[in-house]
Structure 1
Amino acid sequence: MDSDNLTNHSRPTTDAILTVRCIKSFDYRTCKNLVLRHLNLEILTIGELKELIKQQIKTTSGWKPYQNVNFDTIKQYTVAHGHKTQNLIINMDDDDKLIYNDDSATLSWLGFENETEISFFNREAYEEYKKHPDIKW
């Protein structure tokens, strides 16, 4: 067996797994994770990823409460073996770097790797939450 294969444990960007935190409510920390497998990060764009997630929400059982959310924004939560934030559903830091507005940009170009975790949410709701980041029960 090739020694390079023994030391390289990462999956290539042409067969990656992403975990998506679909956030329904920031105030109540309501979110559900969606795991997307076998993604080619070199050709998949942010716009295509958004549509793929929305399609999964529409067609996968157990997602009915999320079908009325206007999901429009993707933000990186963490990359594999990267630092985690204290907030359990969204990384509140570095909005200017980690919120992806260019729907035509490919995921690999933006720095997505295998096992990247992202948050998918409504931008207007996020901006309101940032003003008063209190958690309701």
Structure 2
Amino acid sequence: MATEDRSDGLTVTVRLIRSFEHKNLKNVVFHQVDPDTTVETFMDTVRKDIQTRPGLPPPFRKHAYDTMKLEFKAHGNKTNNPLMNTEDNDKLMLKPGATLGESGVENETEISFFKREEYEAFVQNPVTRW
């Protein structure tokens, strides 16, 4: 069985969730992500990148993202909720101090990035509006 070559880093899709209620999200792809990067460092990298990324609307640039959660791994199962998996928080939330690799981030993983307070409110009242 061949092992994955990580010399070029991972490709990771970050799902910026600006509003759970209105289903506002944008996918941003990051290439050559080092799996030994800490969760906090990766969050800072994403926050800095989206400030100047072309094509990203201003509301997504200025949102107060503070939490990451594993959403999907290559060849894995997706949730039935088209916005975000609201289960297994203890297992899927990326924990401060851990590296991306220790958190289960692999090549072609999707990570949701959102404001925790808004997520908790959505879990308590999962109403969406168009």
Does TM-score exceed 0.5, indicating one fold? yes
Give the match for residue 19 of structure 2.
25
CA contact (8 A) 2:21 2:122 kept: yes
One of 52, 73, 88 as aligned partner of 2:67: 73
Shift of 1:56: 1.2
C-alpha distance in structure 2 between counterparts of 1:101 and 1:13, whole Å: 24
Measured after TM superposition, the shift of residue 11 of structure 1 is 4.7
Rg bigger for which structure? 1
- Name the TM-score, length of structure 1 as normaliser: 0.87
Q: Residues of 1 paired with 2:8 and 2:98: CA distance?
A: 16
Letter in 1 for 2:74: A
- 1:99 alignment counterpart: 93
Aligned to 2:28, the other structure's residue is in SS state: strand
1:121 aligns with 2:114: yes
Judged with a 3 Å threshold, the aligned counterparts in structure 2 of structure 1 residues 77 and 13 are, in CA distance, closer, same or farther, namely farther
Cα-to-partner distance string for 1:43-71 (whole Å, 9 max, x where unaligned): 21100110111011101122212122110
Superposition deviation, residue 39 in structure 1: 1.1
Deviation (angstroms), 1:135: 1.2
Compare 111-120 and 93-102 and name the one that shifted more. 93-102
How large is the RMSD of aligned CA atoms in angstroms? 1.6
With 116-125 and 59-68 compared, the bigger mean Cα shift is at 59-68
- 1:86 aligned partner: 80
Deviant stretches of 4+, over 2 Å: 7-14
Q: CA deviation at 1:101?
A: 2.9
Taking a change above 3 Å as real, the CA distance of residues 125 and 116 of structure 1, as seen in their structure-2 partners, is same
Structure 1: segments with no counterpart, 5+ residues: 1-6
Find the counterpart in structure 2 of residue 62 from structure 1: 55
